[in-house]
Amino acid sequence: MNVTFIGIGAIGLPMAVQIQGAGHRVTGVDLSSHARDMAQENGLVAVDSFAAAPAADVVVAMVATPQQLAALVDSVGADLAGQTWVVMSTVGPDAVREQGARLAAKGARVVDAPVTGGTARAKTGQLVIFASGLQADISAVRPVLDAMGSVRITGPKLGDGQAIKVVNQHLCSVHIVAAAEALNLARSLKLDPAAVLELIEKGAAGSWMLSDRGPRMLQGTDVNVTSSINIFVKDSDLVAAAAQSCGADVPLLSIANARYHEAADAGLGLRDDSRVIETWR
Identify the CATH number of the domain in which residue 35 sits. 3.40.50.720
Write down the pTM of the prediction.
0.91
Final residue belonging to a domain, choices 104, 133, 158: 158
Question: For residue 52, which of 32, 28, 71 has the smallest C-alpha distance?
Answer: 28
**CATH number for the domain harbouring residue 268:** 1.10.1040.10
Residue 165 appears among annotated catalytic residues: yes
Domain span at residue 249 reads 163-279
Are 178 and 242 in the same domain? Answer: yes
Residue 153 confidence (pLDDT): 95
Are 122 and 143 in the same domain? Answer: yes
Are 146 and 213 in the same domain? Answer: no
Are 7 and 105 in the same domain? Answer: yes
Are 99 and 122 in the same domain? Answer: yes
Are 108 and 170 in the same domain? Answer: no
Are 72 and 168 in the same domain? Answer: no
Q: How far apart are CA 26 and CA 29, in angstroms?
A: 10
Residue 236 confidence (pLDDT): 98
Are 13 and 94 in the same domain? Answer: yes
* Number of folded domains that form the chain: 2
Q: Which of 165, 190, 202, 234 is catalytic?
A: 165
Are 154 and 167 in the same domain? Answer: no
Amino acid at 1: M
Are 36 and 148 in the same domain? Answer: yes
Are 80 and 10 in the same domain? Answer: yes
Residue 102 confidence (pLDDT): 97
- What pLDDT tens digit does each residue of the chain (281 aa) get? 999 999 999 999 999 999 999 999 999 999 999 999 999 999 999 999 999 999 999 999 999 999 999 999 999 988 999 999 999 999 999 999 999 999 999 999 999 999 999 898 999 999 999 999 999 999 999 999 999 999 999 999 999 999 999 999 999 999 999 999 999 999 999 999 999 999 999 999 999 999 999 999 999 999 999 899 999 999 999 999 999 999 999 999 999 999 999 999 999 999 999 999 999 98
Final residue belonging to a domain, choices 119, 140, 158: 158
- Calculate the alpha carbon distances from 29 to 3, 12, 37, 67, 168 in Å: 11, 10, 11, 17, 27
Residue 78 confidence (pLDDT): 81
Torsion (CA) 10, 94, 172, 175 in degrees, nearest 10: 140
Are 132 and 203 in the same domain? Answer: no
Residue 182 confidence (pLDDT): 98
Final residue belonging to a domain, choices 126, 158, 190: 158
